[in-house]
């Protein structure tokens, strides 16, 4: 699983600045789920070659001196889900009571941590860090997040070595398609997962994978192997007293990352809500194959059903290739059909097409619809090859220069989809070659 790094500390110490520097993302996923703070930010990022998830508790309000109960709770929750806590203090403002409170939270949590002293720019860091020894957390790492000073050293020497060891792909025992059921709280994920695992023809292998938290469940359905990335809270035999957190954004993001195919579960009785679309956006960003399950289809009036379908047509235009299934996890209807789409999505996402085939496809496509002139110059594709799978990445070589018009890109994407019959997965087009 993707290791989780939480950035904590009182307001204004520079958590968001460090977060943005590490993720370089302007549009990190901002949590917006009922019952949770809006103010935690999440992003996946590659830190010196290692993929990680970063959680920023930056927006949590609190006064400068003490920290209020809400902030302590939010920070505790973030620490609880983290593999490593980066605790940031402010060299300019010096040690405060709030810092001591965080230090206590950290000690109580027993989590690995790194103490970071930020804003050392223009200061003599050898002396400013001294007062922070009083926290009893060892020697602080001096950095300047806004200038990037010492940040790479911090990663190389403190952060990365403190993460759980990486599981090499070669050590991972693959067991069929890796599926994650993802969705807002109460849409019916665990009902669906338990329904599937409880089917007569399903064999569940009780031996959990080597991954921590026994997060993977291997099973066979009609003789076909699958691995379930379990965030849904499967009620496993003999483990009923296991306290499973009802909903966790961290686990949701981790499972999307780990899966080949994501089944996005929605609640028909509640209708399509913003958060569903947000989650779909996340799946696309991560490049995962996608199947949509509209659950709780039972007990809805015809009018209600029609209005949901209209709503879906209107708002799912950005994922026209994702299959939609109307299901009832409670009654088990439509769930079997899901697997056909899961198989299809996986097959499309992982197929490798020969260069010759792809090149011919694009040659034909550009005869039918030549790319628009770029600064009066004719633009042409010469060759296409596949750069990767899950999601398929098509590298189009030609004399494209810097920009390829979006309309032509869309046309090409549609052509790839139509001719190669690609359903259920995003595809990525890359254009190479100078003008
Ligand atoms: P957060 O509340 O902990 O997320 O803090 P922010 O990242 O929003 O930073 C608070 C303020 O400190 C902002 O004005 C930043 O520009 C500033 N800041 C962050 N890092 C540094 C640094 O390394 N040096 C200096 N001088 N200022 C910084
Ligand atoms: P999760 O939080 O997404 O795992 O949701 P749960 O599986 O715990 O389900 C939340 C609630 O929705 C429970 O009361 C379920 O009984 C109910 N539920 C789940 N699936 C269905 C369904 O297909 N139809 C109806 N009517 N209720 C369902």
Residue closest by Cα to atom 27 of ligand 2: 296
Rounded to whole angstroms, how far apart are CA atoms 429 and 396?
7
- Nearby residues of 331 by Cβ (< 8 Å), 6 or more positions away: 298
How high does pLDDT run on average in the chain?
86
Instruction: Decide whether any atom of ligand 1 lies within 6 Å of the 150 Cβ.
Output: no
Residue closest via CA to ligand 1's atom 26 equals: 119
d(CA 39, CA 11): 12
Which range (147-151, 165-169, 280-284, 351-355) has the least confidence? 165-169
H/E stretch holding 393 reads strand 393-398
369, HSE (Cβ side, Cα atoms, 13 Å): 13
Interatomic CA distance for residues 272 and 269, integer angstroms: 9
Q: Write out pLDDT tens, residues 256-273.
A: 989 999 999 999 999 999
Give me the torsion for CA of 93, 96, 98, 102, rounded to 10°: 100
Q: How confident is the model at residue 78 (pLDDT cuts 50, 70, 90)?
A: confident
Backbone angles phi, psi at 407, to 5 degrees: -65, -40
> 188 CA to middle of ligand 2, Å?
4
Residue-level pLDDT at 250: 83
Give the pLDDT score at 65: 47
Distance CA 98, CA 8 (A): 11
Which pair of structure tokens corresponds to residue 115?
């103490």
Residue 244 has pLDDT above 50, yes or no: no
Closest ligand to C-alpha of residue 246 is: 2
pLDDT at 56 over 70: yes
Give the pLDDT mean for 367-372.
90
119 carries a ligand binding annotation: yes
User: Residues 272-295: pLDDT tens digits?
Assistant: 998 899 899 989 988 999 999 999
Q: Which of 7, 12, 14, 71 to mutate to test the pocket of ligand 1 (most atoms within 8 A of CB)?
A: 14
> For residue 208, what pLDDT is reported?
52
- pLDDT given for residue 25 in this prediction: 54
pLDDT of residue 173: 72
Instruction: Tell me what pLDDT residue 44 has.
Output: 83
Question: Does ligand 1 lie within 6 Å of residue 290's CB atom?
Answer: no
Q: What is the residue-wise DSSP string for 155-195?
A: IIIIIHHHSPPPPPGGGS---SEEEEEE-STTSSHHHHHHH
Model confidence pLDDT, tens digit, residues 1-29: 789 999 999 888 999 899 989 987 545 55
Q: If you compute the radius of gyration of the chain from its CA atoms, what whole number of angstroms results?
A: 24
90 carries a ligand binding annotation: no
Report whether residue 335 contacts ligand 2, using a CB cutoff of 6 Å.
no
Measured from the CB, is residue 39 less than 6 Å from ligand 1?
Answer: no
Residue 313 dihedral angles phi and psi, to the nearest 5°: -60, -40
Confidence of residue 242 (pLDDT cuts 50, 70, 90): very low
Contact by Cβ (8 Å): 351, 358: no
Say yes or no: CB of residue 58 within 6 Å of ligand 1: yes
Instruction: Answer yes or no: is the C-beta of 299 below 6 A from any ligand 2 atom.
Output: yes
DSSP character string of 16-58: HHHHHHHH--SSPEEP--TTS-TT-EEEEEEETTEEEEEEE-T
Residue 52 Cα to ligand 1 middle (Å):
22
Q: Is 92 exposed, middle or buried (0-12, 13-18, 19+ CB in 10 A)?
A: middle
Which residue has a Cα nearest atom 11 of ligand 2?
186
Q: Is 14 in the pocket of ligand 1 (CB under 6 A)?
A: yes
């Amino acid at each position: 699983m993707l290791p989780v790094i939480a950035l904590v500390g009182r307001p204004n110490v520079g958590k968001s600045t460090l977060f943005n520097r590490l993720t370089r993302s302007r549009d990190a996923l901002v949590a917006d789920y009922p019952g949770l703070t809006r103010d935690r930010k999440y992003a996946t990022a590659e830190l010196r070659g290692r993929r990680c998830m970063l959680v920023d508790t930056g927006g949590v309000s609190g006064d400068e001196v003490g920290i209020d109960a809400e902030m302590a709770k939010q920070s505790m929750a973030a620490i609880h889900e983290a593999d490593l806590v980066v605790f940031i203090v402010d060299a300019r403002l010096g040690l405060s009571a709030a810092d001591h409170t965080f230090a206590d939270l950290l000690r109580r949590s027993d989590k690995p941590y790194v103490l970071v002293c930020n804003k050392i720019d223009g200061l003599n860091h050898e002396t400013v860090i001294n007062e922070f020894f009083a926290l009893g957390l060892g020697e602080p790492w001096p950095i300047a997040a806004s200038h990037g000073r010492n940040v790479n050293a911090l990663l190389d020497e403190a952060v990365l070595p403190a993460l759980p060891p990486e599981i090499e792909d070669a050590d991972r025992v693959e067991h069929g398609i890796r599926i994650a059921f993802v969705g807002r709280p109460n849409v019916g994920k665990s009902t669906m997962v338990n329904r599937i695992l409880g089917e007569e023809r399903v064999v569940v292998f009780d031996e959990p994978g080597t991954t921590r938290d026994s997060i993977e469940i291997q099973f066979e359905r009609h003789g076909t192997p699958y691995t379930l990335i379990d965030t849904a809270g499967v009620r496993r035999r003999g483990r009923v007293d296991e306290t499973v957190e009802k909903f966790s954004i961290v686990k949701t993001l981790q499972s999307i990352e780990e899966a080949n195919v994501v089944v996005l579960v929605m609640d028909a009785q509640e209708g399509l809500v913003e958060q569903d679309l947000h989650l779909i956006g996340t799946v696309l960003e991560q490049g995962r194959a996608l199947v949509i399950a509209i659950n709780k289809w039972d007990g809805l009036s015809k009018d209600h059903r029609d209005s949901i379908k209209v709503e879906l047509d209107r708002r799912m235009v950005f994922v026209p290739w994702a299959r939609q299934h109307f299901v009832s996890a409670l009654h088990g209807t439509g769930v079997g059909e899901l697997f056909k789409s899961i198989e299809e999505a996986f097959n499309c996402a992982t197929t490798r097409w020969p260069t010759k085939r792809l090149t011919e496809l694009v040659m034909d496509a550009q005869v039918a619809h030549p790319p628009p002139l770029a600064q009066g110059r004719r633009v042409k594709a010469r060759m296409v090859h596949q750069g990767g799978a899950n999601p398929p990445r098509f590298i189009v070589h030609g004399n494209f220069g810097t920009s390829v018009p979006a309309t032509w890109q869309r046309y090409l994407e549609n052509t790839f989809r139509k001719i190669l019959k690609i359903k259920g997965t995003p595809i990525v087009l890359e254009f190479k070659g100078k003008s």
